[in-house]
A and B are shown apart, each in its own frame.
Chain A
């Protein structure tokens, strides 16, 4: 993978690792925290917690539905609970259990899904969560977080416990370009502006934040200056930041490692159309499943490179009313 390398971004740990380390640290401070996993703790990195707090970790086997309902019961009896598996299986297999046991009763369960997007690579589409944001955001009362890199994933993990109620945190498998310094703050529901520009705004989440920064660099060289927002919280969406971007830059492009239906782009479009309508373009996965392959090859084939964002920005800017 080489997203961000053209602008000198270093690659740091996967966001799943940052989550796992932060979770173990939270466990040190909070002895009410219980972590449960569906027999993939060495992949989701909940094993970092297990190794320190074996009495507060439960491997419930390859049974995500049961796992989520158990989380619901633990939370209803007052425990702080993290339930983790691959995002595809957590949101997919246990969706109804999440609906009934977490969203509807608003229990204090934090779901963490790893191996999101197509950048997991060779394991292929069965393991790739590309619909998880849509599933999670559709649930009333849910907070949905998609951190961009390791430092923000660590901060997002701590932020999960800054409020009571249902949340979903999405993490990724590969090493990820670092856009934030260690120790960065993470405010749920508040977009981070990473770059400013007057011609358009790129609103991105997850791995696509680094791609957006690279795209912004390329665009700048041809005279198009763009704002870049890291929209790490898909829900509740920072609608004020979206509206401001629309009013001040006049064109918006979204970028996400997720299907276009029900993801970041759809949420931003809803906000834009209801506040200050401007031309938009959407970078994401188009109504299809990906395949096995090298992450970089897949990102290329399925249109998730900085170049795709550059093209989208040019189109959106071209559509703007002449000022």
Chain B
């Protein structure tokens, strides 16, 4: 068991391999949600690149055959509706058989609509009621300090989720205790359930200033640029005495046209039908072929390229 654990810990992967993994997991997200007839594919796809970077670049320490290993790094999916992304990642990491992905949202399946930590190994928190995961992550981070362990805690939150006051309660408390083993990633995909963030809660901006004012170490990245994702996740580990916020600018639906066509909310909570699925999968394949043929990593995009001015 120790040998296997060391192998999983030591694994290092090239940017290109990580991109290929992200494409594969994106396919799985699309396929499992279409099969289930619901789920939140667009909210999952916006997060899949940064989650791939986290789990498979060697940044996170874990051992999937020993999910309760005390010194494992923790990942909390606070925006629990992106559960399909979490399930794809956990299956890839070896927590369970990828064949189970097709049981998403079925009765008796542990792959519930939102993560249930008692149902599935690798799920660190039961989420789906927004705003709570960062506080839960803070609890884990404080436990590490109390127990003298060196593990890190990563929490993925959403931009719409940031409407919740508890996010800012957690922001204050984490800064108070200077928990430098806590990293939050904000999946800033610009849309929430009924409209754009700009329409629903425009005063989330300027979000970077807010987190800095709360005492966090803040950086912004293009959340679909694998190199930027990996670099940011590596860099935050060197920050002392401050929790860290990575604002990942993303696209809800990862830019795939069936989602882009919905200008209201990027098909929030809707699975693609079979025809849309075929289109989306073809676009993913095309992106992969273009990037591989050009022998370039995915084009480097700045946050401005994704969003315009940020």
What 0/1 readout, one digit per residue, does chain B (56-95) give for beta carbons within 8 Å of chain A? 0000000000000010001010000000000000000000
Query: Do residues B173 and A74 form an inter-chain contact, with CB atoms below 8 A?
Result: no
Residue in B137, B138, B147 whose beta carbon sits within 8 Å of that of A78 in the complex: B147
Query: Do residues B137 and A63 form an inter-chain contact, with CB atoms below 8 A?
Result: no
Total contacting residues, chain A, CB less than 8 A = 30
Chain A residues lying within 8 Å of B117, measured Cβ to Cβ, are: 76, 105
Interface secondary structure of B, over-half rule: helix
Chain A residues lying within 8 Å of B291, measured Cβ to Cβ, are: none
Query: Do residues B139 and A72 form an inter-chain contact, with CB atoms below 8 A?
Result: yes
Q: Which of A6-14, A96-104, A211-219 contacts B (4 or more CB under 8 A)?
A: A96-104
Residue in A34, A73, A78 whose beta carbon sits within 8 Å of that of B135 in the complex: A73
CA–CA, A296 and B20, complex, Å: 72
CA–CA, A134 and B258, complex, Å: 47
CA–CA, A77 and B76, complex, Å: 13
Asked whether A101 and B132 contact (CB < 8 A) given A74-B142, A77-B139, A79-B146, the answer is yes
Residue in A55, A74, A100, A105 whose beta carbon sits within 8 Å of that of B139 in the complex: A74
Q: How many whole Å from A80's CB to the nearest CB in chain B?
A: 11
Identify which of A72, A76, A78, A79 gathers the most chain B CB atoms within 10 Å of its CB.
A76
Within 8 A of B (CB), among A45-71: 55-56, 58, 60-61, 63, 65-71
Query: Do residues B136 and A101 form an inter-chain contact, with CB atoms below 8 A?
Result: yes
Chain B residues lying within 8 Å of A68, measured Cβ to Cβ, are: 135
Residue in A34, A61, A71 whose beta carbon sits within 8 Å of that of B146 in the complex: A34
Identify which of A99, A101, A106 gathers the most chain B CB atoms within 10 Å of its CB.
A101
Query: Do residues A69 and B118 form an inter-chain contact, with CB atoms below 8 A?
Result: no
Query: Do residues A104 and B126 form an inter-chain contact, with CB atoms below 8 A?
Result: yes
Query: Do residues A73 and B146 form an inter-chain contact, with CB atoms below 8 A?
Result: no
Query: Do residues B136 and A69 form an inter-chain contact, with CB atoms below 8 A?
Result: yes
Asked whether A100 and B138 contact (CB < 8 A) given A63-B173, A76-B124, the answer is no
Chain B residues lying within 8 Å of A69, measured Cβ to Cβ, are: 132-133, 135-136, 138-139, 166, 170
Chain B residues lying within 8 Å of A259, measured Cβ to Cβ, are: none
CA–CA, A77 and B148, complex, Å: 12
Cβ of A75 within 8 Å of any chain B Cβ, yes or no, is yes
Q: How many whole Å from B61's CB to the nearest CB in chain A?
A: 15
Asked whether A66 and B173 contact (CB < 8 A) given A72-B136, A100-B128, A105-B118, the answer is yes
Chain B residues lying within 8 Å of A75, measured Cβ to Cβ, are: 139
Chain A residues lying within 8 Å of B169, measured Cβ to Cβ, are: 61, 63, 65-66
Chain B residues lying within 8 Å of A99, measured Cβ to Cβ, are: 129
Query: Do residues B166 and A66 form an inter-chain contact, with CB atoms below 8 A?
Result: yes
Asked whether A66 and B70 contact (CB < 8 A) given A73-B143, A105-B126, the answer is no
Q: How many whole Å from B119's CB to the nearest CB in chain A?
A: 10
Chain A residues lying within 8 Å of B118, measured Cβ to Cβ, are: 104-106
Query: Do residues B137 and A73 form an inter-chain contact, with CB atoms below 8 A?
Result: yes
Q: How many whole Å from B69's CB to the nearest CB in chain A?
A: 12
Asked whether A77 and B126 contact (CB < 8 A) given A58-B177, A63-B173, A66-B169, the answer is no
Cβ of B54 within 8 Å of any chain A Cβ, yes or no, is no
Q: How many whole Å from A74's CB to the nearest CB in chain B?
A: 4
Cβ of B144 within 8 Å of any chain A Cβ, yes or no, is yes
Cβ of B172 within 8 Å of any chain A Cβ, yes or no, is yes
Cβ of B125 within 8 Å of any chain A Cβ, yes or no, is yes
Within 8 A of A (CB), among B91-144: 116-118, 124-129, 131-133, 135-144
Asked whether A74 and B126 contact (CB < 8 A) given A66-B170, A101-B136, the answer is no
Q: How many whole Å from B10's CB to the nearest CB in chain A?
A: 24
Q: How many whole Å from B234's CB to the nearest CB in chain A?
A: 24
CA–CA, A242 and B135, complex, Å: 41
Query: Do residues A79 and B143 form an inter-chain contact, with CB atoms below 8 A?
Result: yes
Chain A residues lying within 8 Å of B132, measured Cβ to Cβ, are: 65, 69, 72, 96-97, 100-101
Chain B residues lying within 8 Å of A104, measured Cβ to Cβ, are: 116, 118, 126
Query: Do residues B172 and A61 form an inter-chain contact, with CB atoms below 8 A?
Result: yes
CA–CA, A190 and B290, complex, Å: 70
Chain A residues lying within 8 Å of B137, measured Cβ to Cβ, are: 73
Q: How many whole Å from B121's CB to the nearest CB in chain A?
A: 13
Query: Do residues B166 and A70 form an inter-chain contact, with CB atoms below 8 A?
Result: no
Asked whether A76 and B125 contact (CB < 8 A) given A66-B135, A69-B170, A70-B173, the answer is yes
Q: CB-nearest residue of chain A relative to B80?
A: A100
Query: With contacts A70-B135, A101-B125 known, what are 5 further pairs, Cβ within 8 A?
Result: A63-B166, A72-B132, A76-B125, A97-B135, A105-B125
27 contacts between A and B (CB under 8 A): A34-B143, A58-B177, A60-B173, A65-B135, A65-B169, A67-B135, A68-B135, A69-B139, A69-B170, A70-B135, A70-B139, A70-B170, A72-B135, A73-B135, A73-B138, A73-B139, A73-B141, A76-B124, A76-B139, A77-B139, A77-B143, A79-B143, A79-B146, A96-B132, A97-B166, A100-B128, A105-B126
Q: List the 7 closest A-B pairs by CB distance, nearest first.
A: A73-B139, A69-B135, A77-B143, A66-B169, A63-B169, A73-B136, A70-B139
Please give the residue numbers on chain A whose beta carbons come within 8 Å of chain B beta carbons, in ascending order. Answer: 34, 55-56, 58, 60-61, 63, 65-79, 96-97, 99-101, 104-106
